[in-house]
Amino acid sequence: MPYPVVCGIYSLNFEGTGHLYIGQSINIYKRFSEHLYHLKNGTHQEKLTKAYSAYGMPDLRILIECKPEDLDQLEKEAINIFDSVNFGFNCTEHVGKPLALKGEENYWSLYTNDTYEKIFLALVRFDRPTSDICKEFNVSLSVVRSIASGHNHKWLAEKYPDEYMLLLSNKGKWNNKYAFTKTPIKLISPSNEVVVLSCSISSFAKLHNLHPGHLGKVISGEHLSHKGWKLFKDS
């Protein structure tokens, strides 16, 4: 017998934890089945995935039934009442239309923003294959490729505009194992020393009193030099 269609606010409860995940849906029982599917397949957001691994399947509780137009406000109130971001399994206080959110605020996000950021910074160093990055951060190849190609986590461009531009200018340079084939970035200093770029462009520019945007253009080949710094090209 199919479950009735119930619109409202619900919680997912993991036995023995005392903590909740708060959600909303115009069809709570259908939404619960979607939660279970993603938990079983390891494709849920990080907090719930870890809770499922530690405590098993959650129970569903309907907290309040309401009209669709009241969902956002009531969900926000419930998240605040139960403090389910700090002491529960919600990743964000944002409500409604989660796919428009950034990074870990997105319902479908599997990892924290810190993890995505570290993957991104590892990619822009161009000093190792993506398989090594996958192992270091315990993520799938598809996650690394989605960042490297610019398809997902474009919010990183706001924090690292120059590094992001550099990464996109080199996208597609993969071998048959989907690893970057580019060698580490090397620069020639004004005193003719060869220097390996071992940190982010922003950090390197700050260290050497350079403009990160101009340095990024030297690295991408758009400019020949910046304050005497040039791109070193292996022969």
pLDDT at 65: 93
pLDDT tens string, the chain, 235 residues long: the values are 567 889 999 999 988 888 889 999 999 998 999 899 888 888 888 888 888 989 999 999 999 999 888 888 889 888 888 888 888 888 875 554 443 445 655 544 667 888 888 998 888 877 777 888 888 998 877 788 878 877 777 788 878 887 887 777 665 443 333 344 445 678 999 999 998 877 677 778 888 888 877 887 787 777 889 999 998 877 5
| Cα 223 → chain centroid | 31
Tokens 């119930």 -> residue: 6
Q: Helix (H, G, I), strand (E, B), or coil: what is residue 119?
A: helix
> How far apart, in whole angstroms, are the C-alpha atoms of residue 15 and residue 54?
10
Q: How far apart are CA 104 and CA 117, in angstroms?
A: 11
Can you tell me the distance from the alpha carbon of 14 to that of 25, in angstroms, rounded to the nearest whole number? 20
- Model-level pTM? 0.43
| Start-to-end CA span in the chain (Å) | 71
DSSP 26-55: SSHHHHHHHHHHHHHTT-S-HHHHHHHHHH
Which pLDDT value is given to residue 49? 87
174: DSSP letter: B
Instruction: Classify 188 as helix, strand or coil.
Output: strand
**Cα distance between residue 89 and residue 79, in whole Å:** 10
Q: What's the rounded Cα separation, in Å, for the pair 225 and 179?
A: 29
Average pLDDT score over the chain: 79
